[in-house]
Amino acid sequence: MSSRSVLLAESGSAKEPRTKNSSNNVLGEFEFAVMQAVNVLGDEAYGAEISRFLISRIGRKLAIAQVYVTLSRLEKKGLLKSEVVEPRPVKGGRSRRVFALEDIGRRALVHSTATRKAIIASSSDLEVSNGAIAKA
């Protein structure tokens, strides 16, 4: 039996297979960051704006392709949805694909946030200095 078959059998539904990254699991670090950006940006959650948001929060350069690949993966997982919106009424305005959280995506984000907070709370004796973690 393939791993997909096992996942389908365990989930009880061929329409909604349980995946390794279902809402019961924690999002990866970059997936979490992208999902949070989509949540915060709302109607302005399109690729370039998400990238700017992440760069300003993470403090390092990102390839725009990294953001688009992650958005596509999250949409395929059913955590995000997107729609193409009309161009802005300015010269050279372009259509944009705007992303939003699906309900299951919102639950995954809440779960992942709670998990991260619990891990941080249990690590109160650790200090981060210049990117290195040391015991306080």
Domain map (residue ranges) of the chain: 27-108
Alpha carbon of 42 to those of 17, 19, 74, 119: distances in Å? 28, 26, 16, 28
- The answer to whether the CB of 71 falls within 8 A of the CB of 99 is yes
- The predicted model gives 119-131 an average pLDDT of 71
Tokens 């992942």, residue?
A: 112
Helices (H), 1-136: 3-11, 29-41, 47-58, 64-76, 103-122
Domain 27-108: which CATH class? mainly alpha
Decide which of 60 and 47 is more confident: 47
For residues 121 and 119, give the distance between their C-alpha atoms in angstroms, rounded to a whole number. 5
Confidence of residue 5 (pLDDT cuts 50, 70, 90): very low
Reply yes or no on whether the pLDDT at 104 is more than 80. yes
- The answer to whether the CB of 54 falls within 8 A of the CB of 33 is yes
For residues 131 and 109, give the distance between their C-alpha atoms in angstroms, rounded to a whole number. 25
Structure tokens at 7: 């996942």
Q: Which residue type, as a one-letter code, is found at position 30?
A: F
Q: What is the pLDDT of residue 69?
A: 97
Secondary structure element (H or E) that encloses residue 105, with its range: helix 103-122
pLDDT in tens, 16-45: 444 444 544 568 999 999 999 999 999 999
Q: What is the pLDDT of residue 16?
A: 42
pLDDT in tens, 68-79: 999 999 999 999
